[in-house]
Structure 1
Amino acid sequence: MRDLRDVTVPEAVLVAITIAVAGAILFGAATSATAFGAFNYGWDGTADLRTVAGETTDSAVLENASAYDRLAGNGTLAVVLGPSEPYTPAELERIETFLRGGGTLLVGGDFGAGANELLAGIDATARIDGRLLRDERNYGRSPAFPLATNVNGTVGVDELALNYPSAVVTPNGTNATVMASTSPYAYADENRNGELDDAESMRAYPILTRESVGNGTVLTLSDPSVFINSMLDRGDNRAFAQTLFGDAQRVRFDYTHSGGIPPLVRLLKLIRSGPLTQFLFGTLLVGGIVVMARYGRAIRNRFSRRAPAAEDVALTEAEIVDLVSKQHPDWDHDRVTRIATQLATRRSGDRDTSSDDS
């Protein structure tokens, strides 16, 4: 076995870089950088929200929209935050079937079209109007972070801390109920100049609505940022999430159209999906270990470009004389012979010591 003291600085640097790259690849394969992503641990992810759901009730992440076919409607809350890709007609039909079975769907969006397309596809009446709301009197970090001070029917929640929110709009005569709204001092910043202009008026804007669709319920939220990691502990956002999840027997996060699931997480879910996949993976793992144990040295020797170590190369004293003479042609023969004899004696002693240690 090679002594660690024989490792050169370039080799050590190469090993360190390899470990760092491998770690980065594994981290990238197990996490997501998608906004509102359940496996995004950054400021704009919802990994903490997934933890809150797991601590409150039975929770899981849907891998694809076909999973709605296996969801029991009654007692199940499905959460869709910031969808960036449209649902197909077949997928919308699956969600409508889930709602007809008594399920609850929370759709959160702000300025993209994905949330409204989903709401229209399932025949909900609420829409997100896409205008930026500000409040010069009731806010957190700045007027662009207004507070929803009117929260109905949620025990322990007095206000929601918002982050560049929009508003929910509903047609007159619908059954939609406003569950949370801004203070009366909020306004829609139509031209986004950060000021209340003459053409803009202050009033309370709906942030969260609730309506019946079929036998189910649709909740429309115009600021999914209340659930991101950096906002969850502002205002009463965490308590709101806990109450929302606590009212359900099951919570399912649908990220099938907003970034999906990281590949390593998907692989782990596949392995855990049943005894057959666990057996196959275990067989491959054991087989790989056996192959490396049996043929590992041969494989390393086959592809290694490292020059043989000095102790692995046996040179006679005459060969050493010839080598030293070529490297130092200006030395006389006696000097070359004396040095060659010393080198041969030293190498012979090193081999003997190595044999005794083994």
Structure 2
Amino acid sequence: MSLRSWLRDGDGVNWPAVLLLTLALVVCGTTLVAASTSSSAFDPYNPAWDGTDDFRDVIETDEDVEGELVRETERYEEVPANETTAIIIAPEETYETEDAARVRQFVEDGGTVVVLENVEPNANDLLDDVGADARTDGRLVLDQRNYEHGPAMPIATAVANHSRTAGIEQLSLNYATAVEPNNATVLVATSDYAHLGETADAELDDEAVLDSYPVATTEAVGDGEVVVVGDPSIAINVMYGEPDNAAFLQRQYAEDEQVLFDVSHTADLPPLAGALLTLRNWPALQALVGLLAIATVIGTTRRPPGATLERIRLRLSRAQGEGGRSGERGRLSDTERAAALRESHPDWDEERIQRVITALNRSRSKRSD
């Protein structure tokens, strides 16, 4: 039975079937969305305001670089380090000894690592293991004069003349922290009216120190470079388009040919996204899936299954009965069968109709034997 005939009954539209099909489509659509998206903050498959879906999409569609999501740090050992930038946003877990060693070797071999973090300690642990000097402070940067929507969203306009800030005039921050440069070079800093606070509503009291606080630094480690940004929020969807966050982030990998979006120590990816990444990274699995798909297509199109032949035989028998024939002499000819099949299956081509007739004749011949 075709979908069209199933959706119609003798008097017109088969509304129960239509409603059932609609419900099935809604359920399938909802399941697909749930399996392909995430609700975790900073997740590259989170399309909500706090996800980094927009940033990921820009990297993957950039024709000048090859973007790749990395779930295992072994990937750092496989790419050409001096042509690659790795981006790490707000890691939720500590990079253990082997993982940190791979990142460090990648940097020492000429790779660039961009770390974005504000309040959690995992990034500082990684910076220590990699051999970088810069550290994030952990307290919030508040600016009582240069801000957007409140002091906790300062606008950092002190931009250094550096290749990593070419064309950048400011960063629009959102609950950022200061970066202690130590021996690193400051790329971007706040205005002179900023201070540090434990909370977003911390008051400007006598103990507050008004100063210009660094929020982005860069430093050489081995043959590579480590960039530290005290605000992972510049990469989230709601802030990515604010001046000049997108331009700054894209500038960090502008000189390289490959970008690794490191999600090895963040929340688990959505099931469908994880499956696609696994399929992409395993050529043997790609070949297996391809063979299964081809076998499925061949199995459903080249030879109708027995159950289908039985249904066709039943229809042809009914057509024979309606025509008043009975017995061997009243058997439908191949021409009559072809006409009946064309009427009941208008979507079938002539080749398929002839294959079905041949199969029916072969089946009848076996029964006669």
TM-score range, shorter chain: 0.7 to 0.9
Between 87-96 and 235-244, report the one with greater CA deviation: 235-244
How far apart in 2 are the matches of 1:105 and 1:275? 28
The answer on whether the counterparts of 2:175 and 2:200 sit within 8 Å (CA) in structure 1 is: no
Query: Quick check: 2:82–2:109 contact (8 Å CA) kept in 1?
Result: yes
Task: After TM superposition, give the deviation of residue 142 of structure 1 in Å.
Answer: 2.0
The 5 A counterparts of 1:228-267 are 228-267=236-275
The two structures, once aligned, show a CA RMSD in angstroms of 2.7
Is the CA contact (8 Å cut-off) linking 1:178 and 1:209 kept in structure 2?
Answer: yes
Shift of 1:163: 0.7
Q: Which runs of 5+ in 1 are unaligned?
A: 302-311, 313-353
Q: Quick check: 15-24 or 258-267, which moved more?
A: 258-267
Instruction: State TM-score, norm by structure 2.
Output: 0.74
Say which is worse superposed, 176-185 or 56-65, in terms of deviation: 56-65
Render the CA deviation track for 1:204-253: whole Å, top value 9, x for unaligned. 11101112222221111110111211112111112212322212232111
Contact 1:109-1:224 at 8 Å conserved across structures: yes
The answer on whether the counterparts of 1:110 and 1:223 sit within 8 Å (CA) in structure 2 is yes
SS at match of 2:261: strand
Counterpart contact for 1:180–1:207, Cα < 8 Å: yes
> Is 1:29 aligned to 2:35, yes or no?
yes
* TM-superposition CA deviations, 1:39-93 (whole Å, max 9, x none): 2222112222123334242222113111011021213111000100111211111
CA contact (8 A) 1:150 1:182 kept: yes
Identity between Structure 1 and Structure 2 (%):
38
- Structure 2 equivalent of residue 156 of structure 1: 167
Matched AA of 2:42:
F
User: Any conservation in 2 of the 1:34–1:258 contact (CA below 8 Å)?
Assistant: no
Which residue matches 2:294? 286
1:197 aligned to which of 190, 205, 226: 205
Distance 2:128 2:99 in 1: 13
Following TM superposition, by how much is the alpha carbon of 1:260 offset from its aligned partner in structure 2, in angstroms? Answer: 4.3
**Aligned runs of 1:95-174 on 2, under 5 Å?**
95-152=103-160, 153=162, 154-171=165-182
SS at match of 1:131: strand
Inter-CA distance 220–188: structure 2 relative to 1 (3 Å threshold): same
AA aligned opposite 1:211? E
Aligned-partner SS, 1:132? strand
Q: 221, 226, 244: which is aligned to 1:213?
A: 221
TM-superposition CA deviations, 1:277-333 (whole Å, max 9, x none): 3331122123334556655968xx9xxxxxxxxxx9xxxxxxxxxxxxxxxxxxxxx
Alpha-carbon distance between aligned partners in 2 of 1:199 and 1:81, rounded to the nearest angstrom: 32
Q: Which runs of 5+ in 2 are unaligned?
A: 312-317, 319-339, 345-369
Aligned AA for 1:280?
A: L
In 2, are the aligned partners of 1:34 and 1:259 still within 8 Å (CA)?
yes
Structure 1: distance between partners of 2:35 and 2:251? 32
**8 Å Cα contact 1:75/1:103 also seen in 2:** yes
CA contact (8 A) 2:138 2:177 kept: yes
Inter-partner Cα distance in structure 1 for 2:213 and 2:306: 67
Q: Which residue of 1 aligns with 2:184?
A: 176
Matched-pair contact (CA < 8 Å) for 2:6–2:17: no
SS of equivalent residue, structure 1 residue 287:
helix
Equivalent residue, structure 2, for 1:16: 22
Aligned partner of 2:82 in structure 1 is 74
State the 1:197 CA deviation: 2.0
Q: Which residue of 1 aligns with 2:363?
A: none
**Aligned counterpart, 1:340:** none
Q: Residues 186-219 of structure 1, C-alpha deviation per residue, up to 9 Å, x if partnerless?
A: 1112354342122212111110111222222111
Whether contact under 8 Å (1:52, 1:241) holds in the other structure is no
Give the whole-Å Cα distance in 1 for the aligned partners of 2:145 and 2:89.
28
